[in-house]
Amino acid sequence: MQRFFSVFLFSLFTFSFLLYPNLTFSRTTPEDIINSQKDSYNQKLNNYSPEKKQKVQEFDKKIAQLNKKQTTELDAYMVYQSQILDEYVRRNNIQERVSDGINRNLEDPVENARYWLTFAHEAVAYQAAKIYIFNLSGEANIKRDIQNTANTLQNDMAVLKNKVIKSEGILKALVSKE
């Protein structure tokens, strides 16, 4: 049965290349998705009046600036939390176990705090790299389209802040044990 399946797959791929010589099998990357969304956005935006186009572009810049400002502040705060943990480890002469990133001992309070700090810091970096593209549904709906994008940013920031608050709480619990 396994041999039959292997021969079947080989035949399928062989015939697909004969029938479609330019056929390529590739995966869709996040960059492909963003580029597709940008193309759609730009095509729709080109059909807008100059005033409406300028309004959308201004809000696009504002949302990008707001995302950058908030993530920069959260990044600095995460670095500060990491410095606190490093100082705690140094002052208490704690020998941290070198982890492979897969096998963790989250029962160890320092390793648990380090895990959550890293988790929150990576979430901040991911949010900083996020690109918000308006889903334009028509010139008459610009206000709603802008509001939807602003709400998405606001919700993403709320989730991110909760992650940062969780890491802060774990760090405070660790440090206050002393």
Does any domain span residue 35? no
User: What is the number of domains present in the chain?
Assistant: 1
- Determine the structural domain holding residue 97 and report its residue range: 47-176
**Global model pTM greater than 0.85:** no
Does any domain span residue 129? yes
Does any domain span residue 30? no
Does any domain span residue 38? no
Does any domain span residue 17? no
Q: Please compute the mean of the pLDDT values over residues 139-159 and round it to a whole number.
A: 94
What tokens appear for 169 in the block?
């709480």
Does any domain span residue 93? yes
Does any domain span residue 97? yes
Give buried/exposed letters for 92-108 (b at 16+ CB in 10 A, else e).
eeeeeeeeeeeeeeeee
pLDDT digits (tens, 9 = 90+) for 92-124: 998 887 777 677 777 788 899 999 999 999 999
Band of residue 67 on the pLDDT scale cut at 50, 70, 90: very high
What tokens appear for 114 in the block?
């380090």
Does any domain span residue 16? no
Is the pLDDT at 16 greater than 60, yes or no? no
